[in-house]
Amino acid sequence: MSTAAAETAVPALHLKVCGMKYADNIAAVAALEPDFMGFIFFPGSQRYVGDSLDRRLLESLPATLRKVGVFVDESPAVIHRQAVRYGLELAQLHGHETPAQCAAVQALGVGVIKAFGVDASFSLEQLRPYAPHCAYFLFDTKGPQPGGNGTAFNWELLRDYNLPVPYLLAGGLGLENAADLLRLDLPGLYGLDLNSRFETSPAVKDPERLRQLFRLLGRA
């Protein structure tokens, strides 16, 4: 498929690369100009950043690249502290956070991406109380880990989505299903969250594989 055809198929698809950690890799991926870059602050993740992030490097990233901190059942105070320290615009909440907890993070000036694990029992109605407190939703495959499980769910479960909150699609997205991604026509879909399918090892992304997908989606 040509770049022009890809642009026609997905005219406004935004791209988030998540699970970043190492300075050289961050710089290489930032050069591809994704819309979001995610950093995981959950100690249980293989991609946990700990205290390893280079603050000066993050400060030097393009203003158009929105930095996202990924947290799991963390307190609003800690989220805010990390947001200030690293210049995070958004907090992706990947645990069992309530609408009230999302509102508390939002009230501290940090935008909220609330993540939901999706399986056959998923109900869109559970999202409604979260809508006033979230900039975006993120739908990932429900699995043993809060995220980064590397498998896709049935995207047709989102066919009846009718809330005003745009969302990102995650879970097993890679070059292997690029053709399906090009044909996506789901209501509310804002972008794609890319992670494990583009890694050579945990937290190390392959810029060339990412470049291939960006090109297929009309982004390079």
Q: 10, 212 in Cβ contact below 8 A? A: no
Please name each of the domains of the chain with its CATH number: 3-216 (3.20.20.70)
pTM for the whole structure? 0.92
Look up residue 163 and give its DSSP letter. -
B/e letters for 90-124, b = 16+ CB within 10 Å, e = fewer, are bbbbbeebebebbbbbbeeebbbbbbbbbeeebee
Instruction: Encode the chain (220 residues) as per-residue pLDDT tens digits.
Output: 444 444 444 456 899 999 999 999 999 999 999 999 999 999 999 999 999 999 999 999 999 999 999 999 999 999 999 999 999 999 999 999 999 999 999 999 999 999 999 998 999 999 999 999 999 999 999 876 666 567 889 999 999 999 999 999 999 899 998 888 878 889 999 999 999 999 999 999 999 999 999 998 888 6
Q: Encoding tokens for residue 8? A: 């026609």
Pairing of strands 36-40, 90-93: unpaired
Integer Cα distance of 183 and 51 in angstroms: 40
